[in-house]
Amino acid sequence: MSLKLAIWDMDGTIVDSREVIQTAMVRSFETVGLTPPAYDATRKTIGLGLHEACQILAPEASADKLAELVDTYRHAFVALRAEGEGFEPLYEGAREAIERLADEGWLLAIATGKARRGIDAFFDQHAMRHLFETTWCADDGPGKPHPFMCDEAMKAVGAEPHQSLIIGDAIHDIRMGLNAGIHTLGVSWGFGEAQELSDVGAHEVHHDFTTLNASLDAFAARVS
């Protein structure tokens, strides 16, 4: 049986982290004395590593101020979790889709701009660690849109580009997948807008898990 690898982004694709990320960003900017970004600015950086995202959101910040901002954001996110405000709910249909793929023999991976502890928090919240063969994050090497995370996920499970796809909500996910030479499935329910995903070359853009599941089935049939 041919291998099939689905590489999943997390924020905005599996979990709805829009509110908690923006709240942490506002807190961190206010703490270091900078004007917080609007949500529309924040959302466009999701998927990038934290340092790169903060550089984009605070281009006027000195190197020292930028380092302080990054550190403060991390502490703000941890504080939100401790306060009970950091829960990131699964999108409706996400668990069922992921569990179905695992049951049908797909290999599953995560490629996220979160740090490793963000992946661990996701698994602690949702008890899905056993479903994923391999996970890659901002701590491991070059971030999105560099193909590193996709390349490493494929190496880890022995899959080839034609057997692999990525599912993500941000233009950085799509660009990473294209740079890795794999099929790209954009989803419109997270941080990215459908037209943005199409404009950067997503092979498909889906608006719900019904059509996404159908596309995954079609890909499996082609690979087989």
CA-CA distances (angstroms) from residue 1 to 73, 164, 224?
A: 45, 14, 7
Second CATH level (architecture) for the domain 18-82: Orthogonal Bundle (1.10)
pLDDT of residue 97: 98
Residues 148 and 113 sit within 8 Å (Cβ to Cβ): no
Q: How far apart are CA 209 and CA 76, in angstroms?
A: 32
- Locate CATH 3.40.50.1000 in the chain: 5-16+90-223
pLDDT of residue 1: 57
- Locate CATH 1.10.150 in the chain: 18-82
Which CATH number is 5-16+90-223's, of 3.40.50.1000, 3.30.70.20, 3.40.50.12780, 3.40.630.10? 3.40.50.1000
Q: Mean of the pLDDT values across residues 78-88?
A: 83
Predicted confidence (pLDDT) per residue in 156-193, tens digit: 999 999 999 999 999 999 999 999 999 999 999 999 99
CA quadruple 223, 193, 111, 213: dihedral sign: negative
Show the tokens assigned to 96.
Answer: 């069922």
pLDDT of residue 83: 85
Predicted confidence (pLDDT) per residue in 57-71, tens digit: 999 999 999 999 999
